[in-house]
């Protein structure tokens, strides 16, 4: 295990347009030492071709890009666990493929985690999914995301706040915590709830969940699960949510 590295794991099921934006932002804004593990979770939309091109373009500049190709969708938790088993970082960063990260994001997450030995999982500030106007403005001008991130950083540098749960759109985890609480629960197939249930186990073991208040990221929300292919396989994300709320007793207050 590399004591000074973050293993960023991005499970990808289609939505290649957003995956490209996500990866571009990671490569641009990640100053902290990291490896990038991209998992093609059975995509059929050009994700495989994009990853091949990405590796060819960046093989000299970015040697720490690793791609795992899967023939079928094994679920978010399954993909994450596979990525974790291949990782070498002290920290794991689970990142959704429809997220855009910003300057200082990775350093901010690590700094928040290292403030207290009990801090085990770290989240960020992010835009609310109901704010469609902000999403539209950000689509037109990506610099709007950077402007907000810079303001948040200047206002909250070094500030950390305890959280009730951390959503998997972006969560940094101390890797040694997995030996205490176990990996992500693959029963949450194909997605939704694996992050909340994991955080419940982390808290039960006496660790802290915290938000790095200096870090702002942008999230498009549910781009992988709004496709016709996902709905064909799983009916709809709303149906998946309802089933998981009931089956795993997820509190409604954690609904997103």
3-state secondary structure the chain: CEEEEEEEEEEECCCHHHHHHHHHHHHHHCCCCEEEEEEEECCCCCHHHHHHHHHHHHCCCCCCEEEEEECCCCCHHHHHHHHHHHCCEEEEEEECCCEECCCCHHHHHHHHHHCCCCEEEEEEEECCCCCHHHHHHHHHCCHHHHHHHHHHHHHHCCCEEECCCCCCCEEEEEHHHHHHHCCCCCCCCCCCCHHHHHHHHHHHCCCEEEEEEEEEEEECCCCCCCCHHHHHHHCCHHHHHHHHHHHCCCCHHHCC
pLDDT at 224: 53
User: Residue 228: pLDDT above 50?
Assistant: yes
| Confidence band for 254, pLDDT divided at 50, 70 and 90 | very low
Cα–Cα distance for residue pair 174/176, rounded to 1 Å: 6
CATH of residue 169: 3.90.550.10
The whole-chain average pLDDT of the chain stands at 86
Total number of domains in the chain: 1
Half-sphere exposure of 9 (CA within 13 A, CB side): 27
CA distance 7 to 163: 23
pLDDT digits (tens, 9 = 90+) for 42-86: 999 899 999 998 877 766 556 789 999 999 999 999 999 999 999
- Residue 169 Cα distances to 49, 61, 109, 122, 126, angstroms: 24, 27, 13, 11, 9
- Spatial distance between the Cα atoms of 68 and 189, rounded to a whole number of angstroms: 19
- Is the bond into 190 cis (omega within 30 degrees of 0)? yes
151-192 tens-digit pLDDT? 999 999 999 999 999 999 999 999 999 999 999 999 887 767
Q: What is the pTM of this model?
A: 0.85
Residue 187 sits in which domain range?
2-254
Please compute the mean of the pLDDT values over residues 196-220 and round it to a whole number.
95
């Amino acid at each position: 295990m590399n004591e000074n590295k973050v293993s960023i794991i991005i499970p990808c099921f289609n939505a290649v347009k957003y995956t490209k934006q996500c990866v571009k932002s990671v490569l641009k804004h990640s100053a902290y030492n990291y490896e990038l593990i991209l998992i093609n979770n059975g995509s059929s939309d050009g994700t495989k071709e994009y990853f091949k091109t990405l590796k060819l373009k960046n093989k000299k500049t970015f040697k720490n890009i690793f791609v795992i190709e899967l023939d079928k969708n094994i679920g978010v938790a399954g993909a994450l666990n596979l990525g974790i088993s291949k990782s070498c970082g002290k920290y794991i960063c689970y990142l959704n493929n429809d997220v855009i990260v910003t300057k200082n994001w990775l350093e901010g997450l690590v700094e928040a985690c290292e403030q207290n030995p009990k801090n085990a999982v770290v989240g960020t500030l992010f835009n609310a999914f109901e704010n469609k106007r902000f999403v539209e403005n950000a689509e037109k001008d990506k610099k709007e995301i950077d402007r907000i991130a810079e303001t948040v950083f200047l206002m909250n540098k070094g500030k950390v706040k305890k959280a009730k749960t951390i959503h998997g759109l972006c969560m940094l985890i101390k890797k040694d915590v997995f030996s205490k609480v176990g990996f992500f629960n693959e029963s949450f197939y194909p997605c939704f709830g694996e992050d909340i249930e994991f955080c419940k186990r982390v808290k039960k073991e006496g660790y802290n969940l915290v938000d790095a208040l200096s870090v702002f990221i942008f999230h498009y929300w549910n781009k992988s699960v709004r496709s016709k292919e996902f709905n064909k396989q799983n009916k709809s994300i709303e149906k998946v949510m309802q089933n998981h709320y009931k089956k795993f007793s997820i509190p409604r207050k954690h609904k997103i």
